[in-house]
Amino acid sequence: MERKRSRAAQMLLDARMRMNLSQTKLANLAGISQAEYQRLEVGARSVGGCSAKIILNICWVLSIDPFVLVFGRNNVDESSEAIS
């Protein structure tokens, strides 16, 4: 039985497909191994368990907001409420 992807894993897959990149090409651009990226995309590894550098590199390649990937929301919009 196939495991259900997490929201973050699905977001990575969708963004990679939109950019028309293979897992290998994306991993090379992000400076990680293809196997490491694959574990993130299939949900075998949580994005919360990765270093900030890895997450930021992947987000830069995919042009996605790291706050949305990790937290599921835009931190800029939500953080002002937390400070008040």
**72: helix, coil or strand?**
coil
Q: In the chain, what is the straight-line distance between the N-terminal and C-terminal CA atoms, in Å?
A: 46
16 within some domain: yes
Integer Cα distance of 17 and 80 in angstroms: 33
Nearest to 31 by CA among 49, 11, 47, 51: 51
Q: How many domains does the chain have?
A: 1
41 within some domain: yes
pLDDT (tens digit, 0 to 9) for every residue of the chain, 84 residues total?
566 889 999 999 999 999 999 999 999 999 999 999 999 999 999 998 999 999 999 999 999 999 999 998 765 554 444 444
CATH code, 39: 1.10.260.40
For residue 84, the model assigns a pLDDT of 41
Model-level pTM greater than 0.85? Answer: no
43 within some domain: yes
44 within some domain: yes
The domain in which residue 74 lies consists of 7-83
1 within some domain: no
